[in-house]
Amino acid sequence: MNRIGDALVYLNDPFNWSRAGGILDLLAEHLRISVLAVLAAMLVALPAGVLLGHTGRGGAFTVALSNVSRAVPTLALLTIFAVTPIGFGPTATTIALGVFAVPPILTNTYVGFRGVDRDVVEAARGMGLSGPQVAMRVELPLAAPLLMTGVRTAAVQVVATATLAALVAGGGLGSIITLGFRQQDYGAVVAGAILVAVLAVLTELLLVAVSWVLTPGEKRLPFLRARRATAVPEPTSAGVPL
């Protein structure tokens, strides 16, 4: 309980927020790394997922990729990119996190496109739509919820994982935790943990809201949907908690 008090004291000190290398600086760096990593992953994974899903090829590949990616520790990838000629720092962190964000987006896009009712696709073809038109005007809107799930999973995972970058001098909010451990300052450790956890949960909530706005079709309020309370088994493609 005392640690929580120490943490609140730490968080309540304006100097800890505003000084150079303080919480605000680290938060900005954390967000910059995360946004860049997710955007880069989307740039790679969305077209690939659309193409694979539309043609129906490479299913085994995407499943294998998402399964193997689960087995690779993020810490390992972060470290390995840091010891390449790129050197440790925000660049290596961004690349490593981007690599990790690809499988959830790719798999969910693929599954979303494959899950579109074949009759609907047939009907669209019969109406004279070309292949790309079918993909963009028929399959994409129907696959949108899963596609957004993929992006959300990836984004939350990246925001959470960016914390680990601090273990290999990669920057971000995790530095508060690692520095606290090194200085035996558990108040700072808990304060850093609170910040990181709140940021991850906020990201999740924000993206649930965004995907609710962006998803076409009948809308149900996003946070009420969970009340149906049927368990969705953890899919192999979804994010690893990190």
Residues that bind another protein (CB under 8 A): 3, 67-68, 70-77, 79-80, 82-83, 87, 156, 159-161, 163-164, 166-168, 174, 177-178, 180-181, 186, 189-190, 192-194, 196-197, 200-201, 204, 226-227, 229-234, 236, 240-242
Residue with tokens 């149906």: 228
Query: CB-wise, 145 or 174, nearer to another protein?
Result: 174
Minimum separation from the CB atom of position 237 to another protein (A): 10
SS (H, E, C) 100-116: HHHHHHHHHHHHHHHCC
Please report how close the Cβ of residue 190 comes to another protein at its closest, in angstroms: 6
CA distance 170 to 200: 18
- Alpha carbons within 13 angstroms on the beta-carbon side of residue 191 total 23
User: Which residue lies nearer to another protein by CB, 134 or 153?
Assistant: 153
Min CB(211)–another protein separation in Å: 15
Cβ-based nearer residue to another protein, 30 or 54? 30
Say how far apart CA 75 and CA 71 lie, in whole Å: 12
To the nearest whole angstrom, how small is the minimum distance from the Cβ of residue 205 to another protein? 9
Degrees, nearest 5: CA angle 55-56-57: 95
Nearer to another protein, 148 or 166 (CB): 166
In whole angstroms, the minimum distance from the beta carbon of 161 to another protein comes to 7
Query: Nearer to another protein by C-beta: 14 or 233?
Result: 233
Of 43 and 198, the one with the shorter C-beta distance to another protein is 198
| Closest C-alpha to 173, from 202, 191, 196, 197 | 196
* Helix/strand number for the chain, H first, E second: 11, 0
Q: How far is the CB of 207 from another protein (least distance, A)?
A: 11
Which residue from 25, 162, 30, 193 is spatially nearest to 96, judged by alpha carbons?
162
Cα–Cα nearest to 102, from 152, 160, 41 = 41
Dihedral class, residue 219 (left if φ above 0, else alpha if ψ from -120 to 50, else beta) = beta
